[in-house]
Structure 1
Amino acid sequence: MHHDHNDDHDLGLAHDLTRLQQQALQRRTALRWLMGAGAMSLGGAGAMALAGCGGGGDAGTSSTSSSGSSGSSTSTGGTTTTTTAGCSVIPAETEGPYPGDGSNSANGSVANVLALSGVVRSDIRSSIAGASGIATGVPLQVIIELVNTNAACADLSGYAIYLWHCDALGRYSMYSSGVTGENYLRGVQATGTDGTATFQTIYPGCYAGRVPHMHFEIYRSTTTATNWNNKLRTSQLCFPSEVNTAVYATSGYGQSAANNNAISLSSDGIFSDGSSTQLCTVTGSVAAGYVATLRVGISA
């Protein structure tokens, strides 16, 4: 990971992730300014690409942009950059069989992590409410920006996002054999004034039949994020293939590499109809950890 100052090298992953998040927010601020100034002409595409989610990368860095927006894409030197022209409503997707939101049962009882004390949190790697498991894997920070498609992509603050995903071995806490007593990799965060909710987690594993992905539900507030009946929308997000490959070359991910090689976004049952609004922008490396960002539009 590149640093601007030599004395930053020993500050660790937390410092680097904070810097990356600050830079992402600065780019979004610049983008909004340019949009407000009417700089959306074709001739300004280069400047918009720099202000948006695209960017440069090295052998350990991927920067593939979609950010829930439509626009034109260019590819130079292995880096894909998307020029943002607006925002689109995120497609509704199935919550799958392991939501833990009160909509089904696991092990003979209703599975609802949303009702547990401590579920509103940023770091979702550990279990809560008496469970003690901790999920391990390549560090990943997920930043979701929630915007209103009915108000020129204005940031939506005070909403709540429930995020959940499998662990490095492809298991879902509360449901899968070996982790039925755990509830890690599940958590709720409120969106801030900039519309973002941030989760500290691990890169998910890849199980047979699906590309690596995460699930999320959107609620009007943390107060209503207690049961699936209150959700506004359910969707999923995915990751660039080159990042998946880099992560699964490391130890601790079981059969993820083989499972990932057997499927692609075009053959995945959820994303085969298109993933442009659900494909995260990812920066970082295996050694330093990754940051994934996604702009999610809803009609509010």
Structure 2
Amino acid sequence: MERKHFLKNGLAALGLAAIAPLASACKKEADSTDGDSSSGTETGSCTVSPTETEGPFPTKSPSTLVKSDITGDRTGVPFTIKITVKNKNGDCSALSGALVDIWHCDKDGNYSEYGGTGMQSTNYTSVHFLRGRQTTDSNGLVTFTSIFPGWYSGRSTHIHVHIYNTAGKSLLVTQISFPEGSDSAVVAVNGSGGTSYGYTKGMSGYTYKEKDNVFSDDSANIELSTVTGSLSGGYTLTHTINVAA
């Protein structure tokens, strides 16, 4: 479904919306026109990262949010996000000069720039926390400072990413998933230790990656990040995304 049609018409159609509204809103879009399927495309020596939906809460004006610290007024466990972009059309070499937009929810599962609807009751339409844009360096790397994302009904912990080339042409919309084992940051943050940082939901009702309607077909774990660190010292996510530039 086209995002513009979803945002214009989809909210009105969700009048019965309290049944997992966010889950159904985040279903996969149809394959993109460049021929890369949502399960990734094998080309040469690397795999193009899967195309995923922007979801119902994409950044409205990303070019105005050029910054590396996207925390805003949000509180939570300190979190560093390191994303490397590579070009499968360049023998999987680092892609410098790419524009990388990211956004994710706060510790309570809410997004900025939206709210006051059945999809998100808390109204954050006038603020822009946990959203930002950076340009990849010569190593294809961007780094963001943030807080560890929370979760909401129907979705596992995740980060949204939209990558453009230097000219502003869209190359890929995708999402990043998190490890969820018993010793993972997701479990630690949402456990008893995380309550002092304001994470109060726990893991009851959490949707694991295998049941998540975006990540459930990621059998090769292409979208799965590496997360290291601790509650006291903060966590760091590292992930590589391959595009066809």
With the shorter chain as reference, the TM-score category is: 0.7 to 0.9
**Contact persistence 2:171–2:244 (CA under 8 A):** no
Query: Which residue number in structure 2 is paired with residue 149 of structure 1?
Result: 88
TM-score (norm 2): 0.73
Q: Which digits, 9 at most, give the CA deviation of each residue in 1:43-68, with x for residues without a partner?
A: xxxxxxxxxxxxxxxxxxxxxxxxx9
Paired with 1:259 and 1:142, the residues of 2 have a C-alpha distance of 26
Report runs of 4+ in structure 1 exceeding 4 Å deviation.
Answer: none
Query: Which residue number in structure 2 is paired with residue 267 of structure 1?
Result: 211
Higher alpha-carbon Rg: 1
Paired with 1:214 and 1:235, the residues of 2 have a C-alpha distance of 9
Q: Which runs of 5+ in 2 are unaligned?
A: 1-39, 116-121
Paired with 1:256 and 1:268, the residues of 2 have a C-alpha distance of 18
CA deviation after TM superposition for structure 1 residue 258, in Å:
2.1
Task: Return closer, same or farther for 1:167/1:281 CA change in 2, 3 Å cut-off.
Answer: same
CA deviation after TM superposition for structure 1 residue 298, in Å:
0.8
**Contact persistence 2:154–2:212 (CA under 8 A):** yes
CA deviation after TM superposition for structure 1 residue 256, in Å:
4.9
Query: Which residue number in structure 2 is paired with residue 235 of structure 1?
Result: 174
Paired with 1:139 and 1:208, the residues of 2 have a C-alpha distance of 23
Equivalent residue letter for 1:203: F
1:94-113 aligned within 5 A: 94-100=53-59, 112-113=60-61
Paired with 2:160 and 2:212, the residues of 1 have a C-alpha distance of 15
**Contact persistence 2:179–2:227 (CA under 8 A):** yes
**Contact persistence 2:68–2:145 (CA under 8 A):** yes
Query: Which residue number in structure 2 is paired with residue 22 of structure 1?
Result: none
Kindly report the root-mean-square deviation, in angstroms, between the aligned alpha carbons of the 2 structures. 2.0
CA deviation after TM superposition for structure 1 residue 259, in Å:
3.3
Counterpart check, 1:187 vs 2:132: yes
Paired with 1:198 and 1:268, the residues of 2 have a C-alpha distance of 26
SS state at 1:245 partner: helix
Task: Return closer, same or farther for 1:258/1:86 CA change in 2, 3 Å cut-off.
Answer: farther
Task: Return closer, same or farther for 1:259/1:181 CA change in 2, 3 Å cut-off.
Answer: farther
**Contact persistence 1:206–1:256 (CA under 8 A):** no
Q: What is the aligned length?
A: 191
Q: Which runs of 5+ in 1 are unaligned?
A: 1-67, 71-84, 101-111, 127-133, 225-229
Matched-pair identity in % = 39
Query: Which residue number in structure 1 is paired with residue 161 of structure 2?
Result: 216
Query: Which residue number in structure 2 is paired with residue 258 of structure 1?
Result: 204
Task: Return closer, same or farther for 1:161/1:256 CA change in 2, 3 Å cut-off.
Answer: farther
TM-score (norm 1): 0.60
**Contact persistence 2:185–2:235 (CA under 8 A):** no
SS state at 2:48 partner: coil
